[in-house]
Structure 1
Amino acid sequence: LKPQQSSLPEHALARLISVGESAMARGAAAGLALLAAARLSAAFDPVDALMMARLEQAVYCGKDRFERWDVGDSILHGPKVDPAKLRYVKHDATDAAAGVGRMREPKGCFVAIKGSTGTVDSLLDALFWPVDFGRKGCSGCKAEKGFLTYYESVKGGIFGALEEFGCVDQPLYLVGHSLGAAALTYHLFDLVYANYTVKRMYALESPRPGNQQFLDAMTAWAFDIDAWRVTHYQDVVPHLPPWVTPFKHALSEVYFTNETGTAYRTCRPEDDDKRCSGHWLPWQLKAKDHCWYADLNPCGCSNSSRTPPGALESLLLV
């Protein structure tokens, strides 16, 4: 009999072999815990995350303004982009949207996935269904049906723009908020599988995207990536779907400890970590803490009525 050939790309197979050897050396559970601890040892950069939150705001400005980079405060306070390489990806049926582009400073590319335009109540009223994630290298992985449908509806457009803008060999920066943060977590898996170099990822106020197998796979696949989920004080959304469902968080947590201000601490992905957002009881959670990052609102187009005078002109002359 001929040995069965793996259908995984060589780089993905090598990553899994490396992870497997580490896990077998200590036992599977201990190995994954070690990888999670190693990822937590990376330093969270709140200034960098704030800059990326400006890209999230820019996506809320809509297609026309995003693609001509007429995005108000995000021009001055966000990364310096190449205005000739910007793409707004939209799917009308799901209302999913993402912004993709090349950056001049820092050098690389970005993907920003917009959250739902509905209210937090729409998530509270949702029925959460686990479905197969459907990826090689993620055996037994389940994703939340609505979150996955949202992501899949713009996935092709995102990857098409990344390829067109020459981002395959560029450092990639990722940001998403709420439903967009859950979608971004699925996107991270696909990017690593496709051999993209993910430099930083910030999933702001993400709901729980997958089951235990998904968490384990993400811990293995993204163990060497500076990837974080950011939670704010008593925000209810990171606690959805409820803990009685099979869904779990998959990224290390950055927890902002107060209603305002920039004090934070970091924790492992475990939902029951009492040092971070896991210490709140269900009746203590609030929707009003959702649209926030370091006293910035990432849920809308900042300075939407006007762009600072001369900002566009100076950008185009660079």
Structure 2
Amino acid sequence: LFLRFSLKSQPLLSLPEFQSVSTGTLVVKEPLNFWGGARVKPKDTKNSEPVYEPATGRLEYWLINLTRWLHIQLPGGSFAYTRREPLGVCVGIGAWNYPFQIAAWKSAPAMACGNAMVFKPSPMTPVTAVMLAEIYKEAGVPDGLFNVVQGGAETGGLLCHHPMVAKVSFTGSVPTGKKVMEMAAKGVKQVTLELGGKSPLIIFKDCELENAIKGALMANFLTQGEVCLKKYLISVSDDSTVTVHQVTDIARAHRVAANLQAGTCYINNYNVGPVEVPFGGYKMSGFGRENGQVTIEYYSQLKTVVVEMGDVESIF
């Protein structure tokens, strides 16, 4: 099924409209998604492109990594192998702060793994998920593989309880994430939760002050602070002094990162999210990962096949 879908997906990899994700149109439409444009007003297309560019290469990335099977040699010439198979119908429930990007993050790996996705955007930002559906259709994605359903909490509950749904991927608040997990558990459905984070920003004494200030401003006020990576706690060493370099004690930075109970740590940067790098949280920030090869594990199920090349042995 993966191979067949990969072949069908070739139009997605070559269609110019998909590669660019119609950035200019999205820059116009996405602000309208937020209550008539009152919240977000990009200065220009160039400055707004990073919001949409992370979505463009995702399907190609996962298609390339789907063909990796594991082969295990056993005694006597026998062997075993594993294969990844689709889950079936996956549900994606998005938040309002990054509506288009979240829709792409969830739908691309789901469909690349051979699943169908039903995506419910936030009722506050319903527009650009529909635009993504139009882009997929124009690219040649078969009807029914990506579906957008509008609605609020009741609609989300129906999707989580539906017997044909095999997985739910949710981005949003901790209280709602707990409800999604509870509803999915009744059907023993797989769940990915990307929930809110109370993230610290640690400023070492050997930091470069200007970069530290720029990082702190970005970490607290990017999109008015309405982002899951907002830094609610800024920790500054009491004996900090201004130097002319970034953090130079990389060994210390690695040591601190290893001791932080956090799903993602940034050293000398902030909010870097290329498709190759997994993203997700620890503890109350949820579980499961978006992006990276590991995402294939969350949108597929693993089958083991054991092949005996000799006679069957029996204790009877």
TM more than 0.5: no
Whose helix proportion is higher, 1 or 2?
2
If you compute each CA radius of gyration, which structure gives the higher value, 1 or 2?
Answer: 2
Short-chain TM bin:
under 0.3
- TM-score (norm. length: structure 1): 0.25
